[in-house]
Amino acid sequence: MKVLITGCNGQVGSCLVNLLQNKASVEICAVDRAELDITQQDAVSHYVSSFQPDVIINAAAHTAVDKAEQQIELSYAINRDGPKYLAQAANEIGALMLHISTDYVFDGTKETTYVETDLVNPQSIYGITKLAGEEAVAEVCPRHIILRTAWVFSEYGNNFVKTMLGLAKQRDTLGIVADQFGGPTYAGDIAAALIKMAQVITDSNKLFDTTNYGIYHFSGLPHVSWCEFAQEIFNKAVDQGLLVKSPDVKGIKTEEYPTPAKRPANSTLNTNKITTVFNIPASNWQLALNHLADYV
């Protein structure tokens, strides 16, 4: 299986490379913006036609949620146009397209977990452009999987876990938002899910039901607030000897921590579909916090 990975230096991209680079049955071509600018259609078409991948995994995105409120054109270029060009190129050679999306396509007002068929209503430029990317991929490439995920963390890049570990060493008390809820998701679990989906679909010994192409939700359980997530990070850090003691965590309301981009109050995603179709369980984010030394 030949796999093209875009955004290879991001959180999920790095994990994809780690999981695939030593597999004898897989040939990977891992690129970041320096090697392939996905916003340039001709470059994408040339790269894909030259490498001839069986699978394209797009892990590239403009994920700076607050900066996106000002960087509108850039957000559309990376989050909509890039995925569209990759999907077009995939369709031209009959490749499978796997694209990562986000919980931010929802407005967060639903009282229960979001399923794949729920009405989308993004409230930020990031969410709007990511939804546009979903629609573009689905429109131009029938053989596609769109994987919506949430609250991504890992040993790589910048994320909530790393931020909390840094702040815990500087402050005795921290105010953390307690009225936004979601499922923290380990990037390594996202990468493993994408790989398994690609293998199931491309396995020549199995007939994949084409009605199963489309959108899937994948995130962590149990669902928690940012405040509860932070407390668990600190508890694990103390247990692992990375912190002498946990800072005092105080839950605050969203309006007490204003940000340029509006965040959904409810980011909880229902992951039953991916478990039913691909036998992939929800991310075990608590287990992923057992090696916090790798995050510092």
Q: Is 216 among the catalytic positions?
A: no
**What does each C-alpha distance from 197 to 161, 171, 192, 201, 217 come to in angstroms?**
27, 42, 9, 6, 13
SS3 content of the chain, % helix, strand, coil (to 5): 45, 20, 40
CB neighbours of residue 6 within 10 Å: 28
Tell me the sheet residues that pair with 58: 6, 99
Is the CB of residue 50 less than 8 Å from the CB of residue 44?
no
CB neighbours of residue 293 within 10 Å: 11
What Rg do the C-alpha atoms of the chain give, in angstroms? 19
Helix ranges, 102-182 (H):
125-140, 160-168
Structure tokens at 26: 């897989």
The closest alpha carbon to 34, from 43, 26, 21, belongs to 43
Among 114, 126, 213, 216, the one annotated catalytic: 126
Q: Which residues contact 203 (CB under 8 A, 6 or more apart)?
A: none
φ, ψ (nearest 5 deg) of residue 257: -135, 75
Task: Give the whole-angstrom CA distance, residue 193 versus residue 14.
Answer: 14
Own/partner pairs, 231-234, CB within 8 angstroms, 24+ separation: 232/286, 232/289, 233/161, 233/164, 233/165, 233/289, 233/292, 234/164, 234/168
- Catalytic positions are 126
